[in-house]
Amino acid sequence: MNKIIKFFLIFAVSLFFIDITEAAERKIVINLPGRSLALYEGDKKIRLYPIAIGKPSTPTPIGYYKISSKDINPTWTDPSNYKNTIPSGPSNPLGYRWMQIYGNYGIHGTNNPNSIGNYVSNGCIRMFEANVEELFDLVQVGTPVEITYNRVVVEKTPEDVVAFYVYPDNYNRQALTVDMIKNWLKGYGVEDFISDEDILAKIRASDGTPAFVAKSNPIVLNGEKLKEKAVQADGAMYLPLNTIAGKLDEKYDWNSASSVISTSFSEAKGVVKNNHVYIDARDLKDLFRVKGELSKDNVFVIGDYTDNKPESKVENKAEKNIEKSTVAPAPINTNAEKPKEPFKTEETKKNANNTVVNTDSTKSKDKKDTTISENKNNEVKKDVSKPIKKKGKPVIVRRPANHKEKV
């Protein structure tokens, strides 16, 4: 009997620690300009909901909090008259769920679903009733709550296209510039693939709709992961010329008049993006005698052509003859451009379902997180060997401690 009791005690304790661990792994992140609430499990976003937040005159406070209490069927008490209360029911402005996060501020349901997506509350976070009941069951007392004010969100869509959103500044807290947004896009290596004019137009609109830029992939060159990215746009995979040539220790010459890149092996057309020169990945073999391909895990891998499995015996033999020959290569016909096969990649889906919460929308859809890091500038050079907690006024009063809960 003692062994059985001991077993059940150990089992109960283990379940307790499992619940605590799960609660610690989950957190709520609220972005006020986007009027969105995301639930994370570790680094993975598992839920995204639209919300209503405080009016500019009674803003929702930003900062780091936690869920301090959870209540089912809460009673609303008028903060100006404690005798004026509304019990749980269809007339209760708190809905049927309440999660306190700070003082009298909380996350709760609403009896006015048309308010979701707007700046209407006295500082609390309102949710659709079905959404708040789902969230209520997914979190515990102690779950962290992070409330931020980010007008710009950069992410990758489910189709791996880098997109950014610009939200309105109803609290008048965050002025934006083109350079600020381009700096955020640097983390994905696509800052050169959108014009200043297009970014400025998105800032002026501030409508929360996605602006699709391009696909980006990490680059691994001879086993080294580079800071710069390979960018898929206009049916091609583009690589930063200055970085690739520098890492391969190869000289090149850039003719800006004809947009031609010349190396000791061959020459090819280049593309200028925001004063930086990019090469088509299909020209790697001709310009630098290296092979590049997109791996199954979406990493663009570049390596010595002779260190990889040859595409055919004839081609491998030709490559060896080039290495052994001491005779200078024949003059190149610069007037003829070699046709290229289209780079195989998925087309950008302009109708990707990844809008967070638009100004007039009440629906939510999943997004991925945004990771931002600095990239090294790829400057163009000629004939070079190594190209170089804020507290707000309480607005919601919870029911008295001795009030009996209606479940």
Residues annotated catalytic, as ranges: 108, 124
Q: Is the dihedral of CA 248, 377, 239, 255 positive or negative?
A: negative
Query: What does the alpha-carbon distance between residue 278 and residue 385 come to, in Å, rounded to a whole number?
Result: 18
Amino acid, single-letter form, for residue 194: I
Cβ 83 vs Cβ 18: under 8 Å: no
Closest CA to 271 of 303, 318, 239, 307: 239
